[in-house]
Structure 1
């Protein structure tokens, strides 16, 4: 499932081999600053993830989606209070229209931590993070995947886990580059991911250094965009409608199919194709990033155009870098100095979608994430959280 492609000049391609070259690194960081403050999207190449690790997963995508209908149904997202599992073709909508795709939502494999208020302990996790209130409803988002059986899809779980771990490590390395582009100490954001800082950070009275966080759960989508059937004409060619990412801090998208589909909205309101380029990831920034930087870094609107009736099937894998569910937006902001918010030439403020993160009701990131998932999958929300909770988060 390899491909050849041509980079679009409007979206920069950052070569990460420049990180170790003292003559080229300043140019790389300048490219990154431009992408952060002007574009919001970029490609990265020579990222260090072995092609075999990528191929071991992407080569299994056709077989995953070709599993018998009853096996896919057995992994339905309706079975999961964590909103993890299978969604069939056109079961989701964006902007009131069906998204012409099917998908498996998956994540870092983690145990349940939600604690019944009537109990005083929830095992090792609660004891290790005794200051956490694990009775808050958003902790129900955190939990294990639904997996296809090994007999039905041999090697899938290992291939997915290896890919997840490799992109997770890449995402942490890339965050360090962003810190350098911001001219703040490397390791400033390590705390977000349950990591020990790579280098000591300066003290700041606004930061709560005693706070420890559970390593966050990163989420991935395994996506299939089949040729659009005639009976979906009402949705036009909407693979996914225009949106900004609200599921994570950064997004790392791998496009194993050569067919175009992803498009990015430019500052002049024109759609720029993010054409697949062999061996690269597309990186963009989520709503939480925009809110944390007071609009200096924009979460850029993008969409996916569905393949036409005569086109081949298209696959893609976005990785959404997670943040701690009980971290607040104000805590995130406290790690970003004022000079970063001034690095963008003109800031018009945080836009409406990112503004959600600044609403006091959703100040804890877990609240905003629970709201996002319930709004996206109301049927799952009703089943696992009840009508009253769904009404609260959708009103």
Structure 2
């Protein structure tokens, strides 16, 4: 256990982005119930992910992290979950062909139910209500009833996370991810899309390779029939995160067993804050979102605090500085980490620094900005003698129109067609696959 840390020590630190509840007793009763429920993941799974992230850090694997901006309790449906997995599996197959490396698959799924907000309240037509903070806390419709912070939603979030994880595990182990049967990964609406044609060509090449491997192998290769699929979410609601943080039965320390990979957001990464204090005591691998205001010395101090033993795979730095700022901000951050010899995995989030508003006030992202930040990040890491080891994307398996641009040429006029997100705009199938092919070109062996 880290020095001066215990399961409650975060409560002595300033805690931002925490909801307030009208009935503290009801909240305490819900938290007591959560503490008695089984964990969602195991410490063995968490340790396995850390080992795989250490390989990505060493250049032997690549991290693909993606999923919803904010999950909805109502979307805990088999088709919705399977669609997200299909997109990530198709993207990972493109990356495997591009890099010849193992791909670590990490979903923003089974727990991404809380969102930070820039304001505690929202006003419409003269009425002011609490901001929507994700389905773990309140609901999106703009009404007094829906926007009330409801402790019972913590239980609903836990239950939906458990159901989602159960289905993911069943798919991963039950043949859904078998490379011999990539037809399982097909999305019904993409048959005539250009990016799917490129993917189909890749699958045909894979089929020939698998026939050769099967012919020379004495027995089936397990890795071709299943995949590891890990979960992640922003560790935002600290009472909820604490209720699922348990001491390992193996005596190896404390783990957040509500997810494999919790991350600290740009708004909650204060080195003296409660979120950093909570996460520094757990054994999970941890992500830290790094925005354009981050100072190199601040990032170094965070990494040292969260990884005092300089353990490979422990800390992932997810930079999200915005297109046009990468060349001016990222080099100093990389050089500071190199100078202190800290072990980190570098990942690019090209989404969050590129959110803009249309003339009508609707949030969107320009695909060209997303792609430009990603390409610039690759270039800067190479020039600094560093390595970009992963990507963090907000995407969906639905046929949405939330980000403009891409091969289909979506414009602002198209956004109303299928703008389904409650929070930030997500990449659709074509845009996500276009990103995958672009990454494959960057990481292919020379």
TM, length-normalised to structure 1: 0.31
TM, length-normalised to structure 2: 0.29
Higher percent of residues as helix: 2
